[in-house]
């Protein structure tokens, strides 16, 4: 801030008393405390909750300390003192003028006058009387490459080679005026440099002095703790001579991820001195936050205004969640140990089947370690653990330890039981519901029967239900669907049904498998019972005369309660359709048997376009699995999981780009009724493929 005009005019001699420098044993200590308080603010400004980090800090006061070179004493002088801001405790002159005495000390910025810096001088004669005192100004270039409001010459990380000119004026009546030039040279990342100062007074006397200068600056490290309360508590040790400490508390808020605002606060040293800091803000540039700090110590020892402005920069290398935003202003950065939102679930499995345990957690960048009976499992370091061909020896209690930069959270216990494969979990019903259109938008449902070690044929109930859906409140149903069963490798239907016409076999098998009844023998729903060799098929459901509407395609195991290890089973369902979120593609399925079953469920959109050239494929699908207890499991982007890609390859599923936005779930589910729903993220629409694979 600019000194008040009255303070730049001659002052009565009694007023000068408080402007004489403090004794040597006082001023430097206070100077260090003042600098330390700036560091303490930097520590405070980055403080927050239970997450301790280290960052680097650079602090630059907008002033320059000038230190004397050898200079001849003024004529007739035995005692020379100077006065000016004592923020740094400097005293003693550097420039000898035979007529006016010494000019020395600290150049400080004039508020509202960019580039103008002010200093002051005084001369006391041999009798101890004040002979002359006054002030001088120097105007320096105001280049500011980083735009933080502080000229480059005053910043530690900027070059400091500049020249300036100015004027001086004695405050004693009839005292001389003078002009001055100042050249400063300082290397980047150096606190100190050299100067040449030249004065010429109104009497024509010229004097040249050289010496060193330094920035009022500090470079070091800060430790901060980031927390949800946005409160800061500071303790600094080892900065102040004698191990003095500073403590203080403030609050801060963040505006987006690029700005930090802090409230005014006070700092108290262990020696009892109190410092105050005005509220302010910092702005982010990459990992560095830059701002200005107005600091006051409350001491009335100078006529310069009590607040000094410091430029400060905090470089935060911490990015716990890897999103490119330093933790200091990142609301998504973890502030606690990981929080487990979905616990691993225990299951009873049939011997020889596969089981997958999974965990969902939040808290930034996470690592995982699975254990059985408390013993870590080698290589089990992802969010899911797949055990193939489970045996009695695999039974036990499973947990996973989830770790981030803050700490570790261990999951609840999931118990695995293994029993003989007399009635293993298996798909006994699959179905798809959507609005079926015409041409490329006709509903096609693919299904596969078979399984390891199986042979022969499988009896199935296959239905294309339209009109009867109206009885269940479904609007816009297809009035007259046609059902075609087409073997893989051909476009010629193997079986076709238009109207089911009350077929007694359809009725009896439907009742046996628990299918909802088709109440009217004259309804135009389509249905048939067929015994098909193990293989790959598709069922298309289209409308008579190219009509459209909502339709349900269903495929039932006609003998769901009977298990034979050599009889083919339903092992895969897929459906492709053009959908919107108000016309979602929903795949229902039922797991029968007495044990759980592991499934791979996918909603594929982007890969349809990039690999198979499908026009209008959905750019970002999400899969939502609805569980019997009313909860859901979801996946948006599959993330390139090695476990998922390896499992998919073993099932013969086409590969997905690891960076694609296709969605995948790998889950083990207990017997029950489920549905998997494809949704477009952000309301996106397009062609999507939903697939359900039984993992052998």
CA distances to 4, 174, 279 from 7, in Å = 5, 18, 27
**Which segment of 19-33, 133-147, 404-418 scores lowest on mean pLDDT?**
19-33
Q: What is the model's pLDDT at position 84?
A: 26
Confidence band (pLDDT; 50, 70, 90) for 525?
A: very high
At 249-266, the pLDDT tens digits run 777 777 778 888 888 877
**Could you tell me the two tokens for 595?**
């044990």
Q: Which residues contact 76 (CB under 8 A, 6 or more apart)?
A: 125, 126
Percentage of the chain with pLDDT > 70?
A: 73
Confidence band (pLDDT; 50, 70, 90) for 452?
A: confident
Confidence band (pLDDT; 50, 70, 90) for 542?
A: very high
Q: Is the dihedral of CA 299, 300, 302, 305 positive or negative?
A: positive
Q: What is the model's pLDDT at position 48?
A: 36
For 88, left (φ over 0), alpha (ψ -120 to 50), or beta? Answer: alpha
What is the average pLDDT across 65-74?
Answer: 50
Q: What is the model's pLDDT at position 155?
A: 76
Burial readout 555-566 (b: 16 or more C-beta within 10 A, e: otherwise): bbbbbbeebeee
What is the average pLDDT across 642-654?
Answer: 94
Q: Which residues contact 505 (CB under 8 A, 6 or more apart)?
A: 529
Confidence band (pLDDT; 50, 70, 90) for 132?
A: low
Confidence band (pLDDT; 50, 70, 90) for 318?
A: confident
Closest CA to 312 of 284, 292, 329, 327: 292
Q: What is the model's pLDDT at position 306?
A: 47
Q: Which helix (H) or strand (E) holds 34?
A: helix 27-45
Report for 59-63, 167-171, 349-353, 624-628: range of highest mean pLDDT: 349-353
**Which segment of 27-36, 309-318, 623-632 scores lowest on mean pLDDT?**
27-36
pLDDT tops 80 at residue 440: no
Q: What's the pTM?
A: 0.61
Q: What is the model's pLDDT at position 554?
A: 95
What is the average pLDDT across 474-486?
Answer: 94
Q: What is the model's pLDDT at position 395?
A: 98
pLDDT tops 50 at residue 33: no
**Which segment of 303-307, 315-319, 552-556 scores lowest on mean pLDDT?**
303-307
Report for 73-77, 151-155, 415-419, 545-549: range of highest mean pLDDT: 415-419
Q: Report the chain's mean pLDDT, rounded to a whole number.
A: 78
At 556-566, the pLDDT tens digits run 999 998 899 99
Instruction: Write a three-state SS string for 383-450.
Output: CEEEECCCCHHHCEEEEEEEECCCCEEECCCEEEEEECCCCCCEEEEEEEEEEECCHHHCEEEEEEEE
Q: Are 599 and 692 in contact (CB under 8 A)?
A: yes
Angstrom distance (rounded) from CA 131 to CA 170:
10
pLDDT tops 80 at residue 16: no
What is the average pLDDT across 626-641?
Answer: 91
Q: Which residues contact 170 (CB under 8 A, 6 or more apart)?
A: 100, 132, 133, 134, 176, 177
Q: Which residues contact 378 (CB under 8 A, 6 or more apart)?
A: none
Angstrom distance (rounded) from CA 554 to CA 569:
15
Burial readout 404-416 (b: 16 or more C-beta within 10 A, e: otherwise): bbbeebebeebeb
What is the average pLDDT across 384-403?
Answer: 97
Q: Are 501 and 525 in contact (CB under 8 A)?
A: no
DSSP 8-state symbol, 243 = T
Angstrom distance (rounded) from CA 145 to CA 167:
27
Confidence band (pLDDT; 50, 70, 90) for 20?
A: very low
pLDDT tops 80 at residue 446: yes
At 266-313, the pLDDT tens digits run 777 777 777 777 888 888 888 888 777 776 654 433 334 445 566 667
Confidence band (pLDDT; 50, 70, 90) for 83?
A: very low
Which domains are seen in the chain, by residue range? 5-31+62-216 (no CATH), 219-329 (no CATH), 339-419 (2.60.40.10), 422-579 (2.60.120.380), 582-696 (2.60.120)
Q: Are 182 and 324 in contact (CB under 8 A)?
A: no
Confidence band (pLDDT; 50, 70, 90) for 662?
A: very high
Q: Are 519 and 496 in contact (CB under 8 A)?
A: no
Q: What is the model's pLDDT at position 225?
A: 64
């Amino acid at each position: 801030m600019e000194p008040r005009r009255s303070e730049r005019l001659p002052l009565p001699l009694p007023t000068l008393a408080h402007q004489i420098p403090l004794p040597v044993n006082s001023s430097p200590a206070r100077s260090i405390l003042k600098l330390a308080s700036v560091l303490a603010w930097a520590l405070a400004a980055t403080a927050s909750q239970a997450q301790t980090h280290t960052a680097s800090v650079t602090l630059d006061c907008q002033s320059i300390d000038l230190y004397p070179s050898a200079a001849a004493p003024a004529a007739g002088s035995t005692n020379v003192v100077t006065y000016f801001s004592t923020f740094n405790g400097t005293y003693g002159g550097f420039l000898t003028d035979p007529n006016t005495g010494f000019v020395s000390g600290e150049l400080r910025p004039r508020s509202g006058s960019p580039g103008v810096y002010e200093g002051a001088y005084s001369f006391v004669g041999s009798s101890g009387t004040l002979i002359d005192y006054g002030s001088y100004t120097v105007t320096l270039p105001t280049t500011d490459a980083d735009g933080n409001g502080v000229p480059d010459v005053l910043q530690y990380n900027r070059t400091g080679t500049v020249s300036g000119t100015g004027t001086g004026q004695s405050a004693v009546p009839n005292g001389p005026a003078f002009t001055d030039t100042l050249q400063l040279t300082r290397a980047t990342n150096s606190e100190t440099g050299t100067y040449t100062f030249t004065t010429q007074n109104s009497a024509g006397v010229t004097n040249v002095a050289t010496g060193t200068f330094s920035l009022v600056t500090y470079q070091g490290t800060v430790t901060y703790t980031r927390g949800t309360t946005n409160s800061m508590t500071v303790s600094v040790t080892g900065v102040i001579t004698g191990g003095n400490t500073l403590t203080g508390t403030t609050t801060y808020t963040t505006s987006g991820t690029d700005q930090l605002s802090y409230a005014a606060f006070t700092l108290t040293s262990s020696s009892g001195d109190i410092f105050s800091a005005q509220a302010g803000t910092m702005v982010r540039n990459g990992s560095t936050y830059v701002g200005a700090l107005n600091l006051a110590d409350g001491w009335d020892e100078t006529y310069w205004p009590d607040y000094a402005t410091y430029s400060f920069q905090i470089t935060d290398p911490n990015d716990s969640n890897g999103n490119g935003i330093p933790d200091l202003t990142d609301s998504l950065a973890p502030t606690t140990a990981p929080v487990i939102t979905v616990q691993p679930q225990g299951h009873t499995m049939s011997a020889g089947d596969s089981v997958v345990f999974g965990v969902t957690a939040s808290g930034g960048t996470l690592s995982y370690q699975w254990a059985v009976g408390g013993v870590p499992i080698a290589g089990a370091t992802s969010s899911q653990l797949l055990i193939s061909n489970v045996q009695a020896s695999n039974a036990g209690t499973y947990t996973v330890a989830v770790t981030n930069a803050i700490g570790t959270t261990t999951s609840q216990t999931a118990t695995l039981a293994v029993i003989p494969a007399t009635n293993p979990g298996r798909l006994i019903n699959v179905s798809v519901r959507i609005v079926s259109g015409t041409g490329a938008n006709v509903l096609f449902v693919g299904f596969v029967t078979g399984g390891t070690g199986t042979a022969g044929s499988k009896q199935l109930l296959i239905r294309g239900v339209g009109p009867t859906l109206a009885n269940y409140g479904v609007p816009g149903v297809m009035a007259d669907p046609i059902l075609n069963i087409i073997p893989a490798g051909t476009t010629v239907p193997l079986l076709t049904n238009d109207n089911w016409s009350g077929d007694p076999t359809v009725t009896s098998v439907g009742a046996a498998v628990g299918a909802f009844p088709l109440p009217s023998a004259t309804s135009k729903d389509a249905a048939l019972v067929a015994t098909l060799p193990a293989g790959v098929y598709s069922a298309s459901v289209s409308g008579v005369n190219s009509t459209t509407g909502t339709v349900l395609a269903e495929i039932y195991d006609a003998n769901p309660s009977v298990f034979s290890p050599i009889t083919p089973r339903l092992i895969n369902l897929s459906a492709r359709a053009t959908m919107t979120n108000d016309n979602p593609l929903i795949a229902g399925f039922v797991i029968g048997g007495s044990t759980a079953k592991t499934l791979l469920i996918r909603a594929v959109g982007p890969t349809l376009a990039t690999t198979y050239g499908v026009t209008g494929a959905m750019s970002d699908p999400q899969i939502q699995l609805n569980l019997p207890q009313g909860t859901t499991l979801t996946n948006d982007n599959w993330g390139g999981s090695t476990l998922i890609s390896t499992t998919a390859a073993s099932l013969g599923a086409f590969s997905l780009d690891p960076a694609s936005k296709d969605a995948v779930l790998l889950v083990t589910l207990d017997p029950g009724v489920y549905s998997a729903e494809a949704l477009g993220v952000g309301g996106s629409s397009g062609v999507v493929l939903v697939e359900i694979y039984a993992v052998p």
